[in-house]
Chains A and B, each alone.
Chain A
Amino acid sequence: MTKTIAIAGKGGTGKTTVAALLIKLLSQKGLVLAVDADPSTNLSQALGLLLDDSKTVGRIREKMAEDVSKGRLSPTIAKPEYLFSKIVESLVESKGFDLLSMGRPEGPGCYCASNEFLRASLDKLVKDYKYNYIVMDCEAGMEHISRQTTRDVDVLLIMSDPTIKGVTTAARMKKLIEDLRSNVGKVGLIINRVRGELSTEIKKAIDESGLQVIALIPEDPDMAGLEMKGRPVTELPQESSLQLKVKEIAEGLRL
């Protein structure tokens, strides 16, 4: 069975960093499909991969729609198959994991059919490639979950910084997921860049949110160094606190 882990959170909470470290960690245990579902961040860079911007799923979908409307796509090449092959072409293959970039969300017009074909293509991809894990770096609105291009999520990790605003945003995301028809197994809150103890106000906000804290991650001094040099986060030393925390999270969730 493939385990799907979605990581969500507003910008600046370190969600892409945690996603990248989790992908690296899990890729030592099985084959991982890394999904960059947040067009405003850069999971590929965090993983130290070069990404061709023209190869996002969004672009593929747009181009297919355009080719269809201009009559450029062969009428005999079935679109479900065409979309699948373009998605395979856009996979960035790496050691132990493949990266798929979702790109920008859809523009105006009808995407019912292309999203249906996309969903079928992703199902087929996961089945054919026999991924053990899917790790998704989701944007705050979680479009792909809400649009049902991703259906079932085993673990949803919501990232927050140690602020009241961060925790209330996280609570809103939990609510959003619960309102959708998606099946989500476990939902956990991760608070990043914690200095010392959490304030009583934040503890109260967490209690009210109904979210379960599964990890507090302290500020990692190694991280700042990497960010300044523009190096991928996967170059963090094994013993750095972030690496150790991510390992702890994975173990705690029995991933």
Chain B
Amino acid sequence: MAGEFHVDIGPQYEGEVIRKENLYMEFGGPKAAHKFELATVKSLDEIENEKVEIIGPDIGDLKPYDEEKGGGSYPIAILVDVAGGELDKDAEAIIERRIHMFTNMIEGWYHMNQRQDTWLRISKDCYKKGFTSLRELGEIYILLYTSEMSIIEKIQVTIITDEKKIKELLPHALEVYAARDERARTLNDEDVDTFYGCTLCQSFAPTHISIIAPNRIANCGAINWFDGRAAAKIDPDGPIFAIPKGELIDAVKGEYSGVNAIEANKSLGTYDRVYLYSAFEHPHTSCGCFEAIVYYIPEADAFGVVHRDFKGETVVGETFSHMAGETSGGKQIEGRLGTGLQQLRSPKFIQADGGLARIVWMPKELKERFKDVLEKKGLYDKIATEEDVKNVDELLAFLERVGHPWIKGEVQLPT
């Protein structure tokens, strides 16, 4: 495949590692303050096809890493601009991620991380073979992109090592990454066909399966849908696996035929139905690992939330650990839901029961942490904390006084 290049290219080099003993120099990584890689979809007329531009000193101009004196770490920015009739903004992240794979396919090159953490190493052998210019790296990128992604009609690559210029462009890249994350956060269960399941905690809770969906993070808070996808790809038969979500049986309560089937299979037949968006009837099981507990307060016909770090008593007089003992073990317990904290941001968080608007108590620390979303829903001043009330009687008085929307009957349950 190489042809006009100084080194070989192919998937056999992907696992190749460059340790310091064989390091010629590195770009980015922990020792370089400024670095990033960015793919941008542009219009066809904005791109000079197959152009490679190098801004700043090149490999041949820079001092290599020295075993005695160290050094040899330089800033870098890699810009891949692409155009094509079928390409849209959503493709940028996928195209950008290919920088990792394509660099690693080059003999004597090593790539780690992504975005503003990017890290590339070139080996001594590679330099000796004549790889003395980043231009060659850019040309290889173009060859690989155009041969592997036919959707790309035009492409240009810019590699910058001039620190001043990189610093100037970095804020824009950070904005793009943040906007992308924002889009990922708005991915919904309706947008995908596959959910993921996790049985890592079955040694503690043999009938527990964490269902991981775009709108539902695992109970431990550590595995979101993207993590599930990555883990299942690495080891499909491992404890984190794909679940075809199947038919949507109940859109409000969040019941899916595929989820029910896996629940029956992996809970040894203990449960065969689960509601992803409700704390009643068939609530999600809880292991022992949840970050927080959503608990029903009968006097208010509403819910409180308490997280693991809160050491005091909740408004119902129980501590987190006391409650956790009753909630855990892989059981479905109506009105008790172990959950990841980020779930409070999910639009489907107990949506069948009224969602966030049905929460009447949470520790002050949580209220501050989720202030943005609570304010957006007009709930920030309506939810009591340990500083406002000490027991359920005080809670009811508080809710009357502030006019909590659930107590006032303003919350419509979805149908």
Contacts and interface: CB of A to CB of B under 8 A. Distances in A.
A80 B230 contact: yes
A118 B185 CA distance: 25
Interface string A31-64: 1000000000000000000000000000000000
30 contacts: A69-B342, A74-B115, A74-B177, A74-B181, A74-B184, A75-B181, A75-B185, A78-B231, A79-B222, A79-B227, A80-B227, A80-B230, A81-B230, A85-B112, A85-B113, A85-B117, A89-B30, A89-B112, A89-B113, A93-B20, A98-B19, A109-B291, A109-B308, A110-B201, A110-B288, A112-B200, A116-B239, A120-B234, A128-B17, A129-B17
Contacts of B246: none
Contact of A113 (B180, B185, B198, B290): B198
Interface residues of B, number: 47
Interface residues of A, number: 35
Interface of A: 31, 65, 68-71, 74-81, 85, 88-89, 93-96, 98, 108-110, 112-114, 116-117, 120, 127-130
Nearest to B21: A95
Given A65-B222, A110-B289, A113-B198, A78 B19 contact: no
Given A110-B222, A120-B235, A76 B15 contact: no
A88 B111 CA distance: 11
B101 to A, nearest CB: 12
B112 A71 contact: no
Contacts of B184: 74-76
Contacts of A128: 15, 17
A68 B223 CA distance: 9
A98 B22 CA distance: 13
B289 A79 contact: no
B403 interface: no
A75 B220 contact: no
A14 B290 CA distance: 41
Given A68-B221, A79-B222, A110-B290, 9 more contacts: A75-B226, A77-B115, A89-B30, A93-B20, A95-B21, A98-B19, A110-B221, A110-B287, A130-B17
Contact of A69 (B185, B230, B234, B291): B291
Contact of B223 (A108, A113, A127): A113
Contact of A78 (B200, B229, B308): B229
